[in-house]
Structure 1
Amino acid sequence: MCKKTANSLFKDKTNIYVSECLSTNDFLTHLTKKNNLGEGTTVMTDYQVKGKGQRNNMWESKKKKNLLFSLLLKPNIPLSDQFKLHIIVSLAIKETLTKLDLKGVKVKWPNDIYINDKKISGILIESQIFNKKIKQVVIGIGLNINQNNFDDLNATSILKESGNESDIKHVRNLLNTAIEKRYLDITKNIEELKLEYIANLYKLNKDQNFANNKNIFVGRIVDVDNDGRIIIEVNGNRQKFDFGSVRLL
Structure 2
Amino acid sequence: MQILEFDCIESTQIFLNEGIRKGELKPPIMVVAKRQSGGIGSRGNLWENVKEGLYFSFALPMETLPQDLPLESTSIYMGFIFKEVLQEEGSRVWLKWPNDLYIGKQKVGGVLCARLRDVMICGIGLNLEVTNQGFCGLDIKISKEKILESFIRRLENDKKKSSWKQIFSKYSLEFTNNFNHTFHYNGKLISLCNASLCEDGAILIEGEKIYSLR
Q: TM-score, normalised by structure 2?
A: 0.81
* Higher RCO (C-alpha 8 Å, min separation 6): 2
Give the C-alpha shift of residue 34 in structure 1.
3.1
For 1:152-163, list aligned pairs within 5 A.
Answer: 153-158=133-138, 161-162=139-140
1:97 pairs with 2:86: yes
How many residue pairs are counted as aligned between the two chains?
210
Counterpart of 2:152 in structure 1 is 176
Name the Cα RMSD after superposition. Answer: 3.1
Counterpart of 1:22 in structure 2 is 10
Q: Distance in 1 between matches of 2:181 and 2:8?
A: 39
* Percent sequence identity over aligned pairs: 22
User: 1:156-194, CA deviations, whole angstroms, 9 ceiling, x for partnerless residues?
Assistant: 112xx24x4x321122212222333454457x4x54442
| Structure 2 counterpart SS, 1:66 | strand
> Residues 22 and 214 (structure 1 numbering): CA distance in 2 closer, same or farther, change over 3 Å?
closer
Q: Distance in 1 between matches of 2:182 and 2:23?
A: 46
For 1:1-249, list aligned pairs within 5 A.
Answer: 13-32=1-20, 33-39=22-28, 41-62=29-50, 65-76=52-63, 81-103=70-92, 105-129=93-117, 135-145=118-128, 147-150=129-132, 153-158=133-138, 161-162=139-140, 164=141, 166-184=142-160, 188=163, 190-201=164-175, 203-204=177-178, 206=179, 219-226=193-200, 228-232=201-205, 239-243=208-212
Q: Distance in 1 between matches of 2:121 and 2:213?
A: 20
Which is greater in Rg?
A: 1
CA contact (8 A) 2:73 2:211 kept: no
Structure 1 alignment gaps of length 5 or more: 1-12, 130-134
Give the C-alpha shift of residue 202 in structure 1.
5.6
> Residues 220 and 49 (structure 1 numbering): CA distance in 2 closer, same or farther, change over 3 Å?
same
AA matched with 2:84: E
Give the C-alpha shift of residue 90 in structure 1.
1.3
AA matched with 1:19: D
Q: Distance in 2 between matches of 1:229 and 1:59?
A: 25
